[in-house]
Structure 1
């Protein structure tokens, strides 16, 4: 028998919100927070399909990074230096905004620095000559001197980046949820959205066999890697990322955050544990999916990297493994725009959600003024 909405549910659903945000990740909550701070009298609702942000906001590796030289050089094969410069500025300012808004202690921020890691002397020789150029460029863009420096670590050549750090994504989202709720924004969990109409009708799946319609004067879809479920025509493609965390080691030689192979592989220490993730470039088509899961080929590759390249002692074990879903645009530039009517989109963070997510959310809030 089909269940029906109760009188109380139907009555509440008649309320018209000034803003409905679909997605309670870093972008969705940030947009709601900044919008509410500017418009305290307006009614703002955030909807999320799960009991907590599920896509990438709490399932990433916790890197607070502006980018390695190797990553920027690879991007220059697809984009102009001017556009990449804008992205570096956005990452830098986005991280400042995140720390200022939530507080470094609350998000577990560590100013540990970051390293571009090379296990090939030839690859290092291709990138290292660009250090002076990029130091001059970042001084011009950010006012920061001497950002990059060539070093050696555990016998490998590395390029140190003093601007980078690490944080705790769980604590970050916990604090963002708290601040957003305290601002007066209503957050509904376990509220999967089926469809968003151009006139602001948001259809929720209400139980197994009935639906509930909410109405918003404006509706922002901030679902990143899941954007095409609501807007099939949008140029945001899902990409799954794998993350592994080892058991505790007696000694952990790798302290800080590390990027390898143009950023496709990344690792860092969590105390005396090693976190490692990425390598989706060895199975690009398989990993262009919005389905969670473990790709065994990528897992085996990362395990081999830990044992043979990073040389953790024999007998190390994986204590945690999980996947997250990111959203990529063709140029890595996020899409923040009005779709039609009262519908807006903020998605496609292209693996840079920690650095730019809050800034994208603020831009989305300003767009809907």
Structure 2
């Protein structure tokens, strides 16, 4: 079925080009039998020899029904990447172009080009660029949410990220990050709660808040109240426990070499956010302030000053961009929680990184990956170019 869309592109009546970055989810095994995600294969591989050696003596038909074992469930059809290759194969690309043909009225496959971004023989990341037959043919919102795209992703075990292929996509100037579970692996408030032994109560509230089930500010105050009595030296205790997400340091290093301004906006707390910004060399950091007791010995569980909630994060992005004279189309935002969605929405590219379920559904782009460096593929920076920038 071909969909006809009437919503005009925000780019006006000019020739519209779209880039789709396809990520093969090699880190997420999903097959009921040995596949794939543990070893690359191709249609040319030799099939394993069949054998009956596992059968025991006397394994013959019997008239005694009690001797028959229960049958295993009938396996479903093989995922297509299992059949055609555990990477982005030519068959996968052909199906992608066919999907676009069904979605976009007048789509011409000959307008599309593609290149392997990760440089491996069996491509894990492929960039596809194609032109729209008219500005009203489709939009990024439709492509990102179309059921046929979703089905393609499931069948081939890939994720597709769509962007307008403009100069601003390739030349961004400001990168803004959430801290907890984005730049670092931990949720700092949960780590503080562990010191007092109330981590289960705090973690449950944190999880609900990050998935958008609770108001962030109300949930933050509720969690902080449980921290009353924590020694004020807790920050020094926590620093050795903080672990950067894989690729975070290298990503910041590359962005700074490319001339980016960088920022971390956190619903966490200033002592940790300021320390992390110093460790990574970030230009800006904003977070919340916990009140220390009058004698300076412990935290009271209260907050002071403005709360860095979802809307405040959005406001900070706008203010930093304005201060640095950077167009919003040249802003990259990466986060994982529901409170990151508003700042993702004002950026040229908002990326949900290993995000909560609701955030994955609503974010402009999503990446489920072991490394933050994969964000660079969305800017068209190849694996080889990343290596050059890290030398």
Higher helix share: 2
Q: TM-score, normalised by structure 2?
A: 0.24
Higher strand share: 1
Higher RCO structure, 1 or 2 (CA under 8 Å, sep 6+): 1
